Every structure is written in structure tokens, then in C-alpha cells.
Chain A
Amino acid sequence: MAVSLAPAAGTKPAFRARTVVARRTARRSLRAAVLWGYVFGITVASSAFSYNTIYKTAAERRRLDLVFGANRAVAALFGPAAHLDTVPGFTAYKSSMAVMIIGAVWGLLHSTRLLRGEEDAGRWDLLVSGETTLRQAVIQALSGFAAAAALVWLITFAITAAVGRASSVRIGVQASLYLALALVSSSVIFLAVGTLTSQLAASRRRASSYAGVVLGLSYGLRMVGDAVPGLHWMVWTSPLGWVEELRPLTDPQPLALVPIVAFTFAVALAAVYFAGRRDVGGSILPERSSREARLRTLTGPLGLTFRLMRSSMTSWVVAVAIGGLLVGITAQAAGSTVVGSSVEQVFTRLGAPGFGAKAFLGVIFVILAMTVGFQAATQFGMMRAEEAGGRADHLLVGAVSRSRWFLGWLVAVALSLLASSLAAGLFTWIGASLQGSGVGVGSCLAAGVNIFPPALFILGAGALTIGFLPRLTGAVMYAILGWSTLAELVGGFVAESHWALDTSLFHQMSAAPAVAPNWQTSAVLAGLGVLMAIVGHQALLRRDLEQE
């Protein structure tokens, strides 16, 4: 790859120096922006086209609308459904929630990586010297993000408008612009939130978990607002709720743009303000530079692993517990509306037949399984980071064998996953019994244990990869997660795509508590995870340690 160090002809070097962060941010966002633009656009296109093939007659469409439109379970999970008897209504509904979540997660991970991550690695020291101050650098980074978001918007718009010309779809240019704007808005909000938390927190991991908390709260608040009658106002307390209230294609409500724009600007301004009040590499939230040594637990590699994982472990368990509590509370209201063929069909396809709170919770636990799978990926990623950062060397040049180090991490992560799984079961039950939904503590706990094996499988896949291709450890785990999540979303709604569901990791487990847990398949999943870990372990013993 040719690298030009000389400034391009015709531009002033001073100008280039003053915009280096903006250009760098935009360039490093380019690939992701194009990718998400296409993904968003294609999500819209596939929803629009699949509607016509699945719901052919007007009667079928009306029934779909009647059943889903009033369904609180569906509203709680995927947002309210309006005008499902029309292509645009179905399209907006099908694409909104998935894109909203994916976009928000990308926004917060991307911004914290490019800001706090780069700063952690010491690369900002080079950038923020000479022509640029930290405050200006953050302004520049924000403009880089804005450019990236604009690109996502444009590509999504272009695909939507092109698809909208089809006679079977009929989405106009203006409506396409507005839909694309609605789809990209959660990314914009969380790019800003990530920029702010990058100023507040002293490490990338903390910055992204703070932003993750904001995302989790937003989802939870709007979920309660959508599900519980009389609490609809809660939707307006949540950034994701505002995005929902944009109601593209069906019942546009541009007024909801006001809080979105105001919130984004306020958050961005706060980020810029705080950037000016701290040092490069420093943080706003106090980070004590010295403290009493805590030696009791630091007795060796396992003690160290637990020390390193402690905050991540607590955050995940608490997050899963709060999530479980919230969905537990909504279970009764939401589940009571799961009567009627279409929703039941969706739930049945996802493995949770029947109706009532139990069926609803069956689907919920699939989502909780995805969450705990995500936890497996991030926590096992910490082990790879120890190797890549050269810190594992200190242990491995001592009396610690590679086996001991590796097993220590596997055990620690597995225990942390088990804790989350049990918390999911317990707190969902507490939430559900607060509303008197009559789901037993036993079946909730069993449902919690039931989501542990898929997470173990992902952990095993990571362990296998780290043995052979250490650099791909994270990528493989996230690919399994991403694919399975997508397959659940598509397979749940499109009857013809049952093959997709079959490839989902989470479809292999039974959707307890809607049905009884199938401990045999669970044992197979867990066994495969252990087997992969064993093979990965053998490979790890035979390879070079790889730093980055």
C-alpha cells in the first residue's frame, strides 16, 4: 500500500494539519458506514418484497394487522406495529427495531473505539499536538462521525428509494428520505453518547459500558411504555422511544426529531466541553492514581483473572438482572395478548408455542440467551487482549503453564456466564411474580440454566479459534452471534425461511419456560463447547504467542 506523507497538492498544510482528526475519523468510519448503509437498505428491501410473497390476499393482511397491531408482546419486543395491512407499514415495522438496535450498538462501539480506544493506545498523543487541542480534536471527530452517518443515510435512502419505485412497494422519495433518517438516527444518538462517555471514562471498556447502560435503559424504558397500558408516556423518556415515535411510512411524526436533535446536540456539546477540561489520556470521572494494595485475592493467574473480570462480571450480571426484571414485569400484560394465529405462529416458529406469559417469556429467554452469548464473546475477548497486549507473558515466563492460564480464563468466564444465566432466571421470576403472572420460580430458574449451554458453546468456539487463529478469536464469536440473531429475526417472521432458524445457535435450545427444557440438547451444546475448548487447548500449546 502506498502511503503519501507529503500534503496533497493544492491544499494548505496548515488546514490539513487542523483537520487531521476529522479526516482520519471519517476515513476510518468509511467502510462501516458503507456496510451499514447497505445492510439497512437491504433490510428495508427484503421486508418490502417478502411482504407481498407471504401475505398475498387483503384478508390475510387485515388479519395480520388486527392481531399484531394490538399486540403488546410484539410492541414490547419490537416496537408498536401500525398499518400492517400495507407494504410501507409492514416494512417500517419489520426494519425499525432491528436497525435501531444494531445502529445504536455500532454507534457506541465505534465511537468509543476511535476515541477512547485510540487514546488508550497512546495514538492521540501524536494527533493532539501542535495544531490541534483536545477540544478541537473532539469537534473534529464528531464531524467525522457526522460525515459517516450522512453516508449511511444516503445509501439507505438510495436503496429505499430504488426499491420504493417498484409497483408492489410504492414508497416515495420524501418518505424514503424520512425512513432512512429514522433508521440512521439511533446510530447518530449513540455515536454522540459514545463520544461523551469517552471523555468521562478512563478506559475504552468503561466508556463503552457506560454507553451500553444508556442503551439498555433506553430499551427498557420504551419497552415498559409500549407494553403496559397507561404507561405510554415512558416511551418519551427514552432516546430509543423518540426514534420509535418518528413512525416512518405509517404516521410520520417529525416532532419526535426535536428531542432527538436536542439530545444529540446536548450530548455532543457536553463531550466537547469536557474534552476541554481534561488532559490527553486523562478522564473527567476521577480515577485515583494510587490506593492501598489489595493483595489477598491476587494469589496467581486465577486471582488475576477474577480481578480483571470483576467489573465486567458485575456489570453483566446486573444488566441481565435488570433486563430480566423489566421483561418479567411486562410478561403478564404482553403475554395476555398473544392469542391469535399470527403471533402464535411467530412464537411457535421461535420454539415457544402457546400463549400467555409463559410463551412470551419463552421468546424473552431466547433474547436473554443472545445477551449472555454476547457476554461470553466480550469476556473471552479479554483473554485474547491479555495475550495481544503482551501481559500474558509475565505469567507464562513464570511458573504458570499455558494450560493453567487458559483453563483459568475458561473457568472464570464460564462461572460468570452461569451467574448471569441464573440472575436472568431469578429476576425474571421476581418481575413476573410482581405482576402475579403465575410462572413458577422453578421453571424460571430452569429457563435461566437453559441459556447457559449456548453461551458455553460460543465460549468453546472462541477457545477453539484462539488455539489456531488467535487474531480471529473475537470475529468468530461475534459472527456466530450475529448470524444466529439475524436468523432468529428473519426466521421468526418469514415462514419460508425455516432453514435460517435451523442454523441459529439459539434455536437449538428449547424455548423454556414456554416448553420444558430439553436437557439432552443442552448437554450436546455444552459438550460441543467443551470439546472445542479441548482442541483449542491442544493447539494453543503448539503455537507462538502472538502480540499485536
Chain B
Amino acid sequence: MARAADFAIRTQALTKRYGDVGALVDLDLEVAAGEVIGYLGPNGAGKTTTIRLLLGLIRPSSGRAEIFGVDCHRRPVEAHQRVAVVPGEANLWPELTGAETLHLLGQVHGKVDDAYRDELIGRFELDPSKKVRAYSRGNRQKVLLIGALMSRADLLLLDEPTSGLDPLMEQAFRVSVGEARERGQTVFLSSHVLSEVEALCDRVAILRQGRLVESGSLSEMRHLSAVTVEATVAGEMPELGGVSGLSSVAVEGKALRCQVHGPIEPLLTVLMQSGVASLLIREPSLEELFLALYGRNSDHAGEH
């Protein structure tokens, strides 16, 4: 069993209620140090709530949360020492320039890698002499991103960090997260951009209506889900009724298209009997996976 401090993030039955609304319900989440985890869920699922709880900005209704073994609620300042954040909304001081904002964020943090900051300013093509008032939305987001990355903090909490960024900058962001991973930093990435999560994350956790509905590596999650099989048989189409785990079966002459849940061998065995002319097995894309999960009925939501 790992010690508490080996986990970058650990929550136990973490719950936040607003009146009757359970913004986050009984969240048990463990993120190992050095892990890059994607945190997904539809609008209003509770992602921002989780991050604000981890930061001690809001108080849990029940349960607890720790960052590197330090209680987020009781000792927030200590917990913050190893954390850098990109908040969900880019609210900055309109009167300050980009450089002043970065300076201030650095002061508040305590430690800044100046060389890396300058590298990031170049990479994200930010003009730091402009006032925040004069920045576009994407440029404000860049200030926040640079502010978080330049600290080289052990844990990066990123709430939709690429909202408003153009594709080139999105690429720069991926490079930066890659660097963070190489340095052993932990990254907690809440995002709606599935391709970004697919490219960057070792593991994903999916939230729905305040509850954790899935958590695991992408390959694990794919196994949980159906694969699509498209096959053409050489002879007669065999009888498929006895094969377990099939759904959405469509047969057209010698062509078959269906979904398979669980092991694929029984289907292959049956198909082999009449000879296989062509075969295509496709794993679901992350997008299909999530669409299936997001779209589930709410009574399934709490089962995991």
C-alpha cells in the first residue's frame, strides 16, 4: 500500500452540495504522483467544483481531500505550495500588463523558473507589455497558462486550459504538458477537448451529475466498451444467434456489421467456419466512448 504522500491527489467521499443539488457526491479519487490524468464530464458535472474543493476555495459538505498528503481544507496554504492552477475563468486585473500579471503570480507562488517563463512567452507568442484589458480572450488564457507552467509546480490543476486557444497554441500547450510529464510533474487536466485528453493522458476519470462513473486507462476503458466488427464471409453467412455479446447486428448478403461486448473469439470462431474474406475490427474512438457514457440514463450514473 502506497503512503498518503505518494499520491498527488487523494479524496475520500468528497461531497459538495448546494441546497438540494449535489454538485459533487462521494468522490473517491487517487492520482499517483507523476500521473497525467484527464478529468471529463458534461457541462455542470462537477469538474470545476472538484478543483475548487482541492484548492480550499470552497468547503466540502463532507469527506476530505489531500494534496501530497496535506489536507486541502485544514492547511490550504501548505497544500498550495506544490500546486499551480489554471482556473476555469480567465478573470485578471484589467489594469495590469501581462508582464506585471506574470510577475505577481510568480510572487504569490514563491518560486518561478525565469528562463522557462521566457521560453513559454516565446512559445505562446505572448506580448507581455500589453495591458490585460487590451488582450483577446485567447491571450488572457495564455497568461494564465504561462503563469501556471512557469512555476514547475509538482501538481498542475488545469481547468479547461485550452479554451480560446487557436490550434497552433493548442499544440504548444501539448508540448508543454509533455515537458511537465517528463519532469515528473503530475497533471490534472479537466477538458472538453477529447483529442487533447487522448493524446496527453495516461488515465481518464469521467464525472456525470457529480458522480464518478468511470476511471481507468484508455485501453482499460476500451475493453469495457464494445468494438465494431465488419466482416465479409466467403460462403454462407452462419447462424449468429448462439454468439453472446452481439448487438446492432446488420447482415446484408455476405456482409456483416455488428458490435461485440466482451471477448471477440466466439464470433470469430463462428465466422471462420464459412471462411472470412475480409475483416475489420475497430476500437471505439474516445469520442464514441464518451458519447456513449455521457448519454447514459441517469439511473446508471451512480453504479460504479
Contacts and interface: CB of A to CB of B under 8 A. Distances in A.
A470 to B, nearest CB: 13
Given A290-B127, A294-B100, A393-B87, A299 B107 contact: yes
Interface stretch (A226-234, A269-277, A539-547): A539-547
B93 interface: yes
A298 B103 contact: yes
A395 B57 contact: no
A290 B134 contact: yes
A298 B104 contact: yes
A301 B110 CA distance: 12
Contacts of A303: 104, 107
B298 interface: no
A295 B107 CA distance: 10
B121 to A, nearest CB: 12
B220 to A, nearest CB: 32
Nearest to B54: A397
A544 B23 CA distance: 14
Contact of A292 (B76, B83, B92, B129): B129
A398 B87 contact: no
Interface in A359-394: 389-391, 393-394
A545 B58 contact: yes
A548 to B, nearest CB: 11
Given A308-B93, A391-B93, A394-B108, A544 B77 contact: no
Contacts of B133: 202, 287, 289
A292 B131 CA distance: 10
B148 to A, nearest CB: 10
Interface in B179-234: none
A290 B108 contact: no
B109 interface: yes
B129 A290 contact: yes
Contacts of A394: 87, 92, 104-105, 108, 147
A538 interface: no
Interface string B124-152: 00011111011000000000000100000
B94 A293 contact: no
Interface size grouping (class) on chain B: 35 or more
Given A290-B127, A308-B95, A399-B77, A393 B103 contact: no
A390 B92 CA distance: 8
A291 B83 CA distance: 31
B100 A293 contact: yes
Interface in A508-544: 542-544
A360 to B, nearest CB: 41
B24 interface: no
A168 interface: no
B289 interface: no
A289 B130 contact: yes
Contacts of B56: 396
A391 B90 CA distance: 9
Contacts of A295: 99-100, 103
B108 A293 contact: no
Contacts of A396: 55-57, 76
Contacts of A389: 91
Contact of A290 (B57, B103, B109, B131): B131
Contacts of A12: none
B65 interface: no
Nearest to A393: B87
Contact of B110 (A291, A391, A398, A545): A398
B80 interface: yes
Given A295-B103, A298-B107, A399 B81 contact: yes
Nearest to B89: A390
A397 B103 contact: no
A389 B87 CA distance: 12
A223 to B, nearest CB: 34
A294 B131 CA distance: 12
A203 B89 CA distance: 20
B4 to A, nearest CB: 22
A401 to B, nearest CB: 5
A202 B58 CA distance: 33
Interface of A: 202-203, 287-295, 298-301, 303-304, 307-308, 389-391, 393-402, 542-545
8 contacts: A291-B129, A294-B100, A308-B93, A389-B91, A394-B105, A401-B76, A402-B76, A543-B59
Closest 5 CB pairs of A and B: A398-B108, A289-B134, A293-B99, A390-B91, A544-B58
